[in-house]
A and B are shown apart, each in its own frame.
Chain A
Amino acid sequence: MTQFETLQTTQPKRKLPPRVKALLRPGFLLGFFILSGSIILAVFPAAFAPYDPNAFDFMAIQQAPSWVHPFGTDNLGRDTLSRVIWAYSVDMQIAFFATFFAMVIGIIVGSLVAYHGGFADVIFGRIVDVTITFPFLVLVIAVVAVLGPGLTNMYVAVTLVQWVYYARLTRAEIMTQMTSDYASAGRVMGYSSGRIIFRHLLPNAMTPLITFWMTDMALAILLGSSLGYLGLGAQPPQAEWGVLIAEGRNFITTAWWMSLMPGIAIVVTRLGFSLVGDSLADVLRPRGAS
């Protein structure tokens, strides 16, 4: 009887493609769940927020978390949960806009500089040296201070500084790809440099860039919150995690939830980005490489 049972358990398992299998890890699933949840909250905040994020309720000032106000209320009686949810749309926007343009500019500059070399490459090298010497946040704050506070100026400031990092990475990747035979083959076939760069070299160099982008979006959320906290990013009536933490700062001993809840939102969202980025790095990596 038992022998029969052991025999019957040896059924062939259906095999999944390795790339799909790599994505079925708990890390990626959790990250994907967080990230997609964040995006949904960012796109439809009104559908999930129980209250108007900017509605004052002077009958409910600084109430501790309860069933009525799960995250409590702030010093003006605004519902913290609603403000955290509305902040998703601002902070996810920051994650995208503060990185996307920097990436596009960085990729274009980096690949052109790598391919053509020469004097432009030397100039680029000096720009990289100068930029990297400064701490990133200090440089961004300096640029925002010149342009004036606000979200748009913050995007401009971050793009102005961050493209250098993308360009540096792109340059290195393109240089590696240029040593390969198919790059020489493209030149020997008489293709234009634009075609070789953007159709042949760049697609093969994209993997680390995508991974870096995911990490960078997580960093951008922290950067946006930091600037919001310092009063240089999003401006106070607007719900943004850094702004919310700054608002709760004065009441940290009496109304801890005002600062803690947006802080948790930052941690969880960044975790989502990092987990997804990490898994993508594994999946996009060429086979055989470790």
Chain B
Amino acid sequence: MTSQTDSLLKVRNLKTTFHSKGRTLRAVDGISFDVRAGEVLGLVGESGSGKSITLRSIIGLTRDYGSVEGNVYWKGEDLLARTDKQLQSVRGSQISMIFQEPMTSLNPLLSIGLQIEENLKAHTELDKRARKARAIELLDMVGIPSASSRLSDFPHQFSGGMRQRVMIAISLASNPEMLLADEPTTALDVTIQDQILQLLLSLAKNLNMAIVLVTHDLGVVAQTCDRVAVMYAGRLVETGSVRDVLKRPQHPYTLGLLKSVPENIPPAHHSFRFPARHQHWTHCRRAALSLPAASGRKMCVLVPNPR
């Protein structure tokens, strides 16, 4: 058990309930966990287990359409007791959030420079010139090339991965102490996923920022998180360090989740890239064409049928 004195965020018995046409649905059912400064906590579970709702409840986004009970202590202060207006000083400046869908989480009508500066305007005392300089610095930091010339570009001029970087830049603008990341890589392809995760990790380390990373990808958790909390049906079934949970899962659901990840499948003796087409291509010979011999892998060279 972690000592509770140095916890940045303490969630105690959080319950989020939605009411619809006389029926009630408890999406989050009494969750408690801690996040320490600079720690990366993974929140995993299947779709509909309440991961995203937990995250949104912490920052007060679900209270519009559901009822939230319990306590969320941010540095000892209960966030749930605050009004929306009182939350404004915490949101964006101390706790930030990035979303799953980078294509829609930026305003399509404002240039990204304006959108970054907007955060600075809301939470810092910087003047116009300083805001611009900081915006360039932030874009540089998240790895957008020729940042200063891209400030006036609009979101549609960026790819998905780039937009997620911009989104990260915006959320980091006023040096938050905690970042809530709601499946930040789900909408991106695998190579970009890796880049974004590495970026988040290095930022967390450099800025001593805590991250709550919601994901359903155990590979991502294994790669990035310090601790992991497994959610199922609105409850936490298991919490612990990544190593413990992944190596020695205690709860049968965690075990099931781990078993659902394809691994230890023996690779074929050599892999065909287009197995369906293979019948039309006869001459197949093994050759170590471009792969270095040391990798021990073979490459298949296909030649079309002679007519």
Contact = CB atoms under 8 A, between A and B. Distances in A.
B119 interface: yes
Interface size class of B (residues with CB under 8 A): 20 to 34
Interface of A is mostly: helix
Contacts of A187: 61, 91
Interface stretch (B106-114, B143-151, B218-226): B106-114
A189 interface: yes
B59 interface: yes
A200 B61 CA distance: 17
Contact of B61 (A184, A195, A203, A204): A184
A262 B88 CA distance: 58
Contacts of B88: 190-192
A185 B167 contact: yes
Interface string A240-266: 000000000000000000000000000
A188 B94 CA distance: 11
Contacts of B105: 181-182, 184-185
A188 B167 contact: no
A204 B123 contact: no
Interface stretch (B95-103, B197-205, B241-249, B297-305): B95-103
Contacts of A191: 88, 92, 118, 122
Given A184-B99, A185-B99, A204-B109, A190 B90 contact: yes
Interface in B50-74: 56, 59, 61, 64
Interface in A165-203: 180-182, 184-193, 195, 199-200, 203
A199 B88 CA distance: 17
Contacts of B97: 185, 188
B104 A204 contact: no
Contacts, number: 67
Contacts of A180: 104
B87 interface: yes
A73 B106 CA distance: 62
A73 B88 CA distance: 68
A27 to B, nearest CB: 27
A189 B104 contact: no
Contact of B122 (A117, A182, A185, A189): A189
Contacts of A193: 84
A182 B170 contact: no
B4 interface: no
Contact of B104 (A181, A190, A192, A200): A181
B215 interface: no
B96 A189 contact: yes
A182 B108 CA distance: 9
Nearest to B60: A187
- Which of A117, A185, A191: most chain B Cβ within 10 A? A185
A195 B115 CA distance: 12
B63 to A, nearest CB: 11
Contact of B96 (A188, A195, A200): A188
A229 B89 CA distance: 58
A253 B109 CA distance: 57
Nearest to B64: A117
B93 interface: yes
A204 B170 CA distance: 20
Interface in B111-170: 118-119, 122-123, 167, 170
- Which of A182, A186, A192, A203: most chain B Cβ within 10 A? A182
Interface string A265-290: 00000000000000000000000000
A188 B107 contact: no
B171 interface: yes
Contact of B92 (A181, A190, A199, A203): A190
Contacts of A195: 118, 122
B176 to A, nearest CB: 10
Nearest to A185: B105
A39 B1 CA distance: 76
A185 B99 CA distance: 8
Contacts of A192: 88, 122
Contacts of B101: 181
Nearest to B118: A191
Contacts of B56: 184
A219 B59 CA distance: 47
Given A188-B61, A191-B122, A204 B171 contact: no
B91 A188 contact: yes
Nearest to A189: B92
Interface of B: 56, 59, 61, 64, 84, 87-93, 96-97, 99-101, 104-110, 118-119, 122-123, 167, 170-171, 180
15 contacts: A180-B104, A182-B107, A184-B99, A185-B105, A185-B106, A188-B180, A189-B171, A190-B87, A190-B88, A190-B92, A190-B93, A191-B88, A195-B118, A199-B110, A204-B108
Interface of A: 117, 180-182, 184-193, 195, 199-200, 203-204
Given A189-B91, A190-B122, 17 more contacts: A117-B64, A181-B100, A181-B104, A182-B104, A182-B106, A182-B108, A184-B61, A185-B97, A185-B105, A188-B61, A188-B91, A189-B122, A190-B91, A190-B93, A192-B122, A204-B107, A204-B109
- The 9 A-B residue pairs with the shortest CB-CB distance, nearest first, are A190-B92, A190-B91, A189-B92, A181-B105, A188-B97, A181-B104, A190-B88, A182-B107, A181-B99
